[in-house]
Amino acid sequence: MKNLFLFVALFGLTLVHGQKNLKTEIKEVTVFLNGAQVSRTGAMDLPKGKFILLVDKLSPYIDEKSIQVKSPPGVTILSVKGQQDYLTEQSQQDDALKYSKQIEQLEAELDKLHGRKDVLKRKSDLLLANQVLGGEQSGPSIAELRQAVAFYDEQLTLINEEMLQIVNEVEEKESRIEVLNQQLAVFRSSGKSIGQILMEVETTRAVNATFELSYIVANAGWFPSYDVRVQDIEQPLKLTYKASVYQNTGVDWDQVKLRFSNGDPNKSGVIPELSTWNLNYARYTRSTNSNKSLGLIDRVSGVVMDEESGESLPGANVVVQGTTVGTVTDLEGRFDLTLPAGATALEVSYIGYTQQTIPIQSRTVNVRLAPDVTELQEVVVSGYASSALAGRVSGVQIGKNYGSQKKVEKIPITYTVENQTTVEFEVKKPYSLKSNNSKLTVELTAYDVEADYQYIVVPKVDTDVFLQARILDWNQYNLLQGEANLYFEDAYVGRTILEGNAVDDTLDISLGRDQSIVVRRNKVKEYSKKRVIGNNTEETRRFEILVKNNKSKAVKILVKDQLPVSVNNNVEVEVLNHKGATHEEATGKLVWNFELKAGDQKELEFGYQVKYPKREQVILE
């Protein structure tokens, strides 16, 4: 009755023409950084007249305003509506309840098996504790001994066989429980209503009509990631561009054509405006939160759990706020992310739960998500008639090319399509991806890139030497900010962040640590002094930096250190020595840039003197 009322309300007397089910299939999906555009096609024979076409079994997370329908000549789209089928939701809840009962039954059987196992252990202990045969004055006869040995052998053998059987049954049931829990998690995440699209169409003649539908869905997206391989610093760098794609839309994608776009349809396309900046005393000014320095937190890991039950949430999305760096939790709800510079918070989301923004204050971030108690209401929204989705969503513009283009050998895996505001990667091979919280990694493209290699060390912070590759004209590769796995000389050496959102015309990639170059930084004690002269205190510091190349070939090395910079008129800094280094006075940075032959070593030194009022203290180390 409810559905009848809905149809009458939507289409009035056109209901007399009847309703036809239009069967469609997903042909193509454009995956955005957050969300996806699904394109479906379906065909059917229509006589002349007006009809209501129902497209069923769609995702419940459709953005109703994005629904677009394209029809062939001879067919006019009169209206397009989106709605939800809530009857299917109850069916899915019944399935989830069925899985819960199976888990409870298996757990009860496990309790019985553990109880039987305990009984057998006690029985075995009792037998072993009563092995003494005969009395104190006389031992057992040969016949009694044989009978006793046979008895113990029979009983212990039976106990061991049953114990082994119990162990096998326990493993089987625990494995079954794990599978059911995973399936139950899928039902909990996707146990929503089913989306539907209703179209009122009119035909001027009998026609075999092919319809093309497209719409934006939530709970899908992709994270850029990379493999960076360097076999030798005299060879080009091999860069593999990958997409880690996930989808929890409630509908499986089966052998569909995939496109990956750096656009985000959820971001507003409205150009921001500046309001008047009224300057006043601090006490009349509302302060804004500033980002805290996170020190050396360059990686974070943790577990995403249900706030009420404490159960882990597999397939939860974890994204570094304001970036494209992110991941999806594994089957145990765990995640591990390398952080880009300036990362301050994580955005954690999961279907059916309220999204949380968690500040990054340590290397371990465990998140408890609260269920979203907001109930879905029946939605009936007008879409747009005819024509395909117009234009592209606004996104990130990768930048301009500078300088001359170096030779690039491109391995053709995908097509790259550059639009006015976005870049898309069109994958040749069709892929399948189930709506089950899993993650699929797709290779987008690969390049052999000419790069300049240099070793860099900042011994004041870390005496390990890092290999860096510098790529010129990197804008042509359409890279986004993301995690990169590093391989050097066929060995995995770690992870880094590829800063694809940089505005420079060169891109620097850290390729990890190289233990073949040794660096030591020492304070020269005989030149490091403190003394009081009149009303002032003078402190002198001098440092030595030793660099040794244990590699079999010459290397270019960049050594960075610093001198203090005074921000107080009563604190004076005098530079004593920084031979061979360039000195940036505004920041105090010192940089030595030189080539070191195989087996050679080089000594660097610098020093400074600080004078300040003796009643004050200055921290120099």
**pLDDT of res. 311:** 87
What CATH architecture applies to the domain 518-613? Sandwich (2.60)
Is 93 or 194 the better-scoring residue by pLDDT?
194
Q: How confident is the model at residue 408 (pLDDT cuts 50, 70, 90)?
A: very low
CA distance 258 to 430: 7
**pLDDT of res. 92:** 56
Is 275 or 606 the better-scoring residue by pLDDT?
606
pLDDT at 380 over 50: no
CB atoms within 10 A of CB 164: 10
52 strand-pairing partners = 19, 200
| 347, containing H or E segment | strand 345-349
CA distance 43 to 531: 91
Is 559 or 178 the better-scoring residue by pLDDT?
559
From 110-119, 121-130, 401-410, the region with the lowest mean pLDDT: 401-410
Phi, then psi, of 254 in degrees rounded to 5: -115, 110
Q: Considering only CA atoms, which of 162, 168, 155, 95 is closest in space to residue 125?
A: 155
Compute the C-alpha angle 511/517/519, nearest 5°.
Answer: 110
Q: Radius of gyration (Cα) for the chain, nearest Å?
A: 34
Q: How confident is the model at residue 67 (pLDDT cuts 50, 70, 90)?
A: very high
**pLDDT of res. 93:** 58
**pLDDT of res. 7:** 43
3-state helix, strand, coil in the chain (%, to 5): 20, 45, 35
Mean pLDDT of 20-47: 94
Cα torsion 179, 184, 185, 190: sign? positive
Find the largest Cα–Cα distance for the chain: 115
The answer to whether the CB of 478 falls within 8 A of the CB of 423 is: yes
391 strand-pairing partners = none
What secondary structure letter does DSSP report for 343? -
pLDDT at 205 over 70: yes
Mean pLDDT of the chain: 80
The answer to whether the CB of 420 falls within 8 A of the CB of 394 is: no
**pLDDT of res. 121:** 86
pLDDT tens profile 563-574: 999 989 999 999
The answer to whether the CB of 421 falls within 8 A of the CB of 262 is: no
pLDDT tens profile 245-279: 999 888 999 999 999 998 877 665 667 777 777 77
CA distance 270 to 291: 26
Is 95 or 347 the better-scoring residue by pLDDT?
347
What secondary structure letter does DSSP report for 499? -
pLDDT tens profile 166-201: 888 888 888 888 877 766 665 555 555 678 999 999
The answer to whether the CB of 7 falls within 8 A of the CB of 19 is: yes
**pLDDT of res. 394:** 32
pLDDT at 68 over 60: yes
Q: How confident is the model at residue 404 (pLDDT cuts 50, 70, 90)?
A: very low
**pLDDT of res. 612:** 93
pLDDT at 382 over 50: no
CA distance 511 to 494: 8
What CATH architecture applies to the domain 2-86+193-217? Sandwich (2.60)
Q: Considering only CA atoms, which of 14, 20, 22, 23 is closest in space to residue 50?
A: 14
Q: How confident is the model at residue 240 (pLDDT cuts 50, 70, 90)?
A: very high
- What is the tally of helices (H) and strands (E) in the chain? 3, 37
Q: State the DSSP string of 191-210.
A: -SPEEEEEEEEEESS-EEEE
pLDDT tens profile 326-345: 888 887 888 988 888 788 89
pLDDT at 76 over 80: yes
pLDDT tens profile 440-481: 899 988 889 989 999 999 999 999 999 998 888 887 888 888
Q: How confident is the model at residue 122 (pLDDT cuts 50, 70, 90)?
A: confident
Name the region of 221 (left: φ>0; alpha: ψ -120 to 50; beta: rest). Answer: left
Write down the pTM of the prediction: 0.61
**pLDDT of res. 385:** 33
Which residues of 428-581 form beta strands (DSSP E)? 431-433, 439-449, 452-458, 462-472, 482-488, 491-498, 506-514, 517-523, 529-533, 536-549, 555-562, 572-577
Task: Give the three-state DSSP class for 396.
Answer: coil
CA distance 250 to 434: 9
**pLDDT of res. 231:** 87
pLDDT tens profile 315-327: 889 999 988 888 8
CB atoms within 10 A of CB 456: 17
pLDDT tens profile 535-547: 999 999 999 999 9
Q: Considering only CA atoms, which of 332, 400, 324 is closest in space to residue 366?
A: 332
CA distance 26 to 472: 40
Task: Give the three-state DSSP class for 144.
Answer: helix
CA distance 550 to 552: 7
CA distance 452 to 468: 8
Task: Give the three-state DSSP class for 247.
Answer: strand
pLDDT at 109 over 60: yes
The answer to whether the CB of 244 falls within 8 A of the CB of 433 is: no
Name the region of 391 (left: φ>0; alpha: ψ -120 to 50; beta: rest). Answer: left
Mean pLDDT of 28-50: 93
End-to-end CA distance of the chain: 79
CA distance 372 to 213: 30
Mean pLDDT of 504-526: 88
**pLDDT of res. 12:** 42
From 245-249, 372-376, 405-409, the region with the lowest mean pLDDT: 405-409
Task: Give the three-state DSSP class for 449.
Answer: strand
240: Cα within 13 Å, side-chain hemisphere: 14
Which pair of structure tokens corresponds to residue 114? 């553990």
CA distance 352 to 64: 19
